Structure 1
Amino acid sequence: MPVASVGDTAEASIAVTEQTIEAYADLSGDHNPIHEDDEYAAETMFGGRIAHGMLSAAPISAALAALPGDVVYLSQDLAFENPVYPGDTVTADVEVVEDLGGDRVRVETTAATDETVVSGEAVVLSVPHES
């Protein structure tokens, strides 16, 4: 069975709605009013509610899982570059850029709406899928 190797790419998307933001707040316990309170958020530098940064990064995990083989996260560096608003669709693109040996690969990760919202890189373990 194939495993992730240099040059492999994958993509995944998520539609961000007020409901997904509220569900993420409930799952994570992060009830910051910038994510949940329209009036509060309207007075911030963002001018309205925004998604949690980690919700914006979630499609990266889904894209990594779409790479060949069984993929296990070992590490992830993220830079949050722009906000994500309800109604946005976040699309993540990942590309394996380096074989680190020992079944480990380094992957460039990007998530974007009309502009990049999250960028970084991950190190993952990629092993053959067992049937």
Structure 2
Amino acid sequence: MPVATVGDRAGAERAVTEETIDRFAEVSGDENPIHLDAEYAAETTFGGRIAHGMLAASVVSAALARLPGDIVYLSQDLSFERPVRPGDTVVAEVAVVESLGGDRLAVETTASVGDETVVSGEAVVLSLAHDGA
């Protein structure tokens, strides 16, 4: 199987529902009421429930997994730019921008809802050949 190289791109998307947010809270243990309590969230600057930032960032992880080869996450710098709300669809795009030597690659990462970026950053990954063994 080939490995990822500079110029490779991949994407993933995820529809976010109230159930998605509830399930993410259960799995992550992050039970912040801004995510789970509609009445509480309505009184905040966001005016309603919002998804966990890491839920949106997890769509980036799904996109990275679609790059060629076996991809192993080493690090990720993230900027959370806008909230994701129930009913939104998060679309993540990743692009390999630099070889860092060995099997390490720098990857530009972006997650958007419509035309608005919600999460941006850069990841470092290992791209390994899969020998099928």
Quote the Cα distance in structure 1 between the aligned partners of 2:125 and 2:131: 17
Tell me which amino acid in the other structure corresponds to 1:85. Answer: R
Match of 1:124 in 2: 125
**For this pair of structures, how many residues does the alignment match?**
131
Q: Residue 40 of structure 2 aligns to a residue in which SS?
A: helix
The normalised TM-score by structure 2 is 0.97
User: Matched residue of 2:50: which SS?
Assistant: coil
Output the amino acid matched with 1:65: A
Mapped to 2, the partners of 1:51 and 1:99 lie a distance apart of: 33
Percent identity over the alignment? 72
Amino acid at match of 1:24: F
Residue 2 of structure 1: how far off its partner (Å): 1.2
Question: What is the alpha-carbon distance in structure 2 between the residues aligned to residue 56 and residue 15 of structure 1?
Answer: 10
Aligned residue for 2:94?
94
Unaligned runs of 5+ in 2: none
- Residue 35 (str. 1) matches residue 31 (str. 2): no
**Structure 1: how far apart are the matches of 2:88 and 2:131?**
36
* Alpha-carbon separation, structure 2, partners of 1:108 and 1:6: 11
Structure 2 Cα separation of the partners of residues 65 and 28 of structure 1:
20
Which residues in structure 2 correspond to 1:50-129 (within 5 Å)?
50-114=50-114, 115-129=116-130
**1:8 corresponds to:** 8
Paired amino acid for 1:20 = T
Give the 4+ runs in structure 1 shifted more than 4 A. none
Summarize deviations over 1:5-26 as a string: whole Å, max 9, x none: 0000000001100001000001
RMSD, matched Cα = 0.6
1: CA distance, partners of 2:45 / 2:86: 16
Deviation at residue 54 of structure 1 after TM alignment:
0.1
What is the CA-CA distance between 1:102 and the residue it aligns to? 1.0
The alpha carbon displacement at 1:129 in A equals 1.5
Match for 1:125: what amino acid?
Answer: L
Q: Distance in 2 between matches of 1:20 and 1:32?
A: 15
Q: State TM-score, norm by structure 1.
A: 0.98
